[in-house]
Amino acid sequence: MIDESRVAGGALSPDGVAAEDVLASVRRLRSADRPTHGGRLFAYVYDPAVPGLDELAAAAHRESAHVNGLDPTAFPSLLAMENALVGAAGRVLGGGPGTTAPDVVGSVTSGGTESLILAVKTARDAHPEITAPRIVVPSTAHAAFAKAAHYLRVALDVVPVPVATLRPDPAAMAAAIRPETVLVACSAPSYAHGVVDPVAEIAAVAADAGVRCHVDACFGGWTLPYLRRLGEPVPAFDFAVPGVTSISVDLHKYAYAPKGVSVLLHRNAALRAPQYFAYADWPGYTMINPVIASTRSGGPIAAAYATLRHIGDAGYLRLATVTRDAVASLADAVRAVDGLRLMAEPESTVVCFTATEGGPDLFVLVDELTERGWHTQPQLSYAGLPASVHLTVTAAVAPRVAEFGPDLAEAVAAARAAGPVRLPAELAALVGALTPEALTPELVVGLAAGLGLGGPGAGNESGAGNGPGAGSGPGSGPLPERMALVNTLLDAAPPAPRERLLVEFVGLLQRPDWGSAD
Ligand SMILES: Cc1ncc(COP(=O)(O)O)c(C=O)c1O
C-alpha cells in the first residue's frame, strides 16, 4: 500500500481524512508507546489512577485550548485560573497569608525546564552590572540548570556531591560562590536519587553572600508537604526557610495535571520583576511576557486547574499516603534481592538502586524487567557514581507493588544467567577514548546500525535500504527491543561524546520520513 502520509508530506493529507480515521491512526501510533496508565511505567508519566480524572482534564483542556495567554486582559479566565494555580502552589509551599512569606507571587510555565530557565534568567537580569554571571549548583541538580546556563550564557559552577550521601555539602556550596554568582540552587528532592538537599543550610550560605537561592522542587514540591503531614521526617525546604528566594514546582508531575504546567514562585514581586520581558519598540502590539512563550494555550492551565480542584487537598493527602506505602514496598523488594542495593534510603517518591559487587548487569536487568512489563529508567554511571535504575513512584503503582518483588527477583536471575553485555574490545576502546570532534556522521551511522538503532533491518544486509520505520508491529520501531547494548556503549563513553552520540542518534530518528501513521 502506498503510504500517502510520506509521499504527500507527512501529516498533510491531499484531500483531508475523516475524523474517525484520523483518530484511529493516532490510536495505532499510540499503541507502540509505553503504557501511560496501569502503574508499570516508572518514569515520564505521573498517574494518580483517579477514575474520571483524565476525562475531566481533557474536557477542561478543550474549553480553553484556543484561549491565548498572550494577553491576559483579553482572556481574564486564563488570568484567574493561572492566579488560582499560583495561589495553590504558594500555599502548599509555605507562602500566602498568615505565613512567613505572605507576598509570594509566581507564574505558570510550560514545565520544569522553563521554570528553571526563568529562575536563572531572573537572577541574571537582577544584576545587569555583573557582566559574566555565574550560578552554583550541586552535581545532582537537574540538567535543566545546565541548559539554562547554556541558553543564557551564564557560567555553571558544579559542586560535586559526596558519593556516600548524594547530598551537597553546604560548606562546599559556600566555597563555590564568587562575586559574580547570581544564584545558588538546590533540589527538593533531586530527580536521580530522590534525595532532599540541606536547603536551610544552603539558603543560609547564599543569603550570607547576598545571593538568591532557588529550590528546585519541580519533582517533589507537591508531595513533600503532604508526606510531612503524614509524619515523614521532611526537612524544611520551602518559603518557611529564610533565604529561599524562589521555588519551582511542576503541576504536571505530582499534582497529576496533564503535561505542560509548572509554577515558578518568587518570595515577592520585587524578586520576580526581572523575569518579565517587555518590548514596545516595533509597530505591532507591545509584547509583555512573564514566561518564555508568548502565545500560550489555555488548555494545559485549565486542565491543571480542573485537576487541582477535583482532587483537592484531602485527595492529595490520600494519594501521598498510597504512594508512600508503594515506595516502602518497592524499596523492600529491592532490599530482598541479593545483588542489588538502594542508592539512598527513600525519603520522597523515588526508589533508586544499583548492583553490588558481583551483582547483575543493570542494563540487562532493565531489559529483563521490560520483558516482564515493568518500564524502569536506567541511569548511566557518572563521576564516581555507579549506573543505577530509577523508579519514579506514583499512586497508580500502589495496586501493583506486590507483583513487582517476584518479577524483580526473576529478572535478576535472568540477568545473571544472561551475563553482562560485553562490548567488543576495540569498540570499548574506541568509545572510551572518543572525543566529540572524532565523531563523524559516518561513524555515528555505522555505530547506530551496529546497535540496531533505526528500525529493523538497519545495519544488517537484508534490511539495507529499507531504512528506519520499514517494519511494523510490536518492537519494530526505531529502537531495538533490548537496549542493554546501547546503554553499555553510552555508559562507556565520557559525558562529552556521550552527549554527541545521543544528539546524533536522536538526529537519526528525527527525520520527516518517520511518523507515518498507516
Ligand atoms: C527536579 C527536577 N527539576 C526539573 C525537571 C525538569 O522538568 P520538565 O521535564 O518538566 O522540564 C525535572 C524533571 O524530571 C525534575 O525532576
Task: Give per-residue burial for 95-114: e unless 16+ CB within 10 Å, then b.
Answer: bbeebebebbbbbbbbbbbb
Please name the residue that has the C-alpha cell 518564555: 292
Which residue did the predictor score with more confidence, 323 or 515? Answer: 323
Please name the residue that has the C-alpha cell 535543566: 144
DSSP 42-110: -SS------TTHHHHHHHHHHHHTT-BTT-TTT-HHHHHHHHHHHHHHHHHTT-STTSS-TT-EEEEES
The arrangement of strands across the sheet holding 134-138 comes to 105-109, 262-266, 246-250, 212-216, 181-187, 134-138, 155-159
Q: At what angle do helices 484-492 and 362-371 cross, to 10 degrees?
A: 160
Q: State the Cα–Cα distance between residues 394 and 283, nearest whole angstrom.
A: 49
pLDDT of residue 454: 65
9 has a pLDDT exceeding 80? no
Atom number, ligand 1, closest to the C-alpha of residue 220: 1
Phi, psi of 379 (to 5 degrees): -120, 130
Q: Among 259-273, 376-390, 416-430, whose mean pLDDT is lowest?
A: 416-430
The alpha carbon of 142 and the centre of ligand 1 are apart by a number of angstroms equal to: 7
Check: CB of residue 109 under 8 Å from CB of residue 291: yes
C-alpha cell at 3: 503510504
Q: Torsion angle, CA of 321/267/132/286, rounded to 10 degrees?
A: 110
Check: CB of residue 192 under 8 Å from CB of residue 352: yes
461 has a pLDDT exceeding 90? no
Q: Which of 63, 38, 60 is nearest to 307 (CA)?
A: 60
Across the range 366-394, mean pLDDT stands at 97
133 has a pLDDT exceeding 90? yes
The alpha carbon of 219 and the centre of ligand 1 are apart by a number of angstroms equal to: 6
Angle among Cα 414, 38, 481 to the nearest 5 degrees reads: 40
Whether 368 lines ligand 1, by a CB cut-off of 6 Å, is no
pLDDT digits (tens, 9 = 90+) for 140-159: 999 999 999 999 999 999 99
Average pLDDT, the chain: 92
Q: Among 230-234, 371-375, 382-386, 461-465, whose mean pLDDT is lowest?
A: 461-465
Q: Among 77-91, 220-234, 447-461, 469-483, whose mean pLDDT is lowest?
A: 469-483
pLDDT of residue 466: 28
pLDDT of residue 178: 98
How many CB atoms are closer than 10 A to CB 132?
9
Atom number, ligand 1, closest to the C-alpha of residue 113: 11
Whether 201 lines ligand 1, by a CB cut-off of 6 Å, is no
How many CB atoms are closer than 10 A to CB 233?
8
pLDDT digits (tens, 9 = 90+) for 311-356: 999 999 999 999 999 999 999 999 999 999 999 999 999 999 999 9
Whether 144 lines ligand 1, by a CB cut-off of 6 Å, is yes
303 has a pLDDT exceeding 60? yes
Protein residue with its CA nearest to atom 8 in ligand 1: 112
Check: CB of residue 303 under 8 Å from CB of residue 78: no
Q: Could you tell me what percent of the chain has a pLDDT over 70?
A: 92
Check: CB of residue 386 under 8 Å from CB of residue 355: yes
C-alpha cell at 120: 536563572
Protein residue with its CA nearest to atom 15 in ligand 1: 219
Whether 218 lines ligand 1, by a CB cut-off of 6 Å, is yes
458 has a pLDDT exceeding 50? no
Q: Which of 212, 187, 209 is nearest to 197 (CA)?
A: 187
pLDDT of residue 509: 84
Whether 297 lines ligand 1, by a CB cut-off of 6 Å, is no
Q: State the Cα–Cα distance between residues 315 and 295, nearest whole angstrom.
A: 33
Q: Which of 176, 160, 171, 348 is nearest to 254 (CA)?
A: 348
The alpha carbon of 155 and the centre of ligand 1 are apart by a number of angstroms equal to: 20
Whether 111 lines ligand 1, by a CB cut-off of 6 Å, is yes
DSSP 214-257: EEE-TTTTTTHHHHHHTT--PPP-STTSTT--EEEEETTTTT-P
Whether 191 lines ligand 1, by a CB cut-off of 6 Å, is yes
Atom number, ligand 1, closest to the C-alpha of residue 114: 11
Give the helix/strand (H/E) hosting 264.
Answer: strand 262-266
pLDDT digits (tens, 9 = 90+) for 76-104: 999 999 999 999 999 999 999 999 999 99
Mutate to test the pocket of ligand 1, among 42, 116, 117, 142 (most ligand atoms within 8 A of CB): 142
46 has a pLDDT exceeding 90? yes
pLDDT of residue 446: 81
Mutate to test the pocket of ligand 1, among 218, 256, 291 (most ligand atoms within 8 A of CB): 218
Amino acid at 291: V
Q: State the Cα–Cα distance between residues 253 and 167, nearest whole angstrom.
A: 22
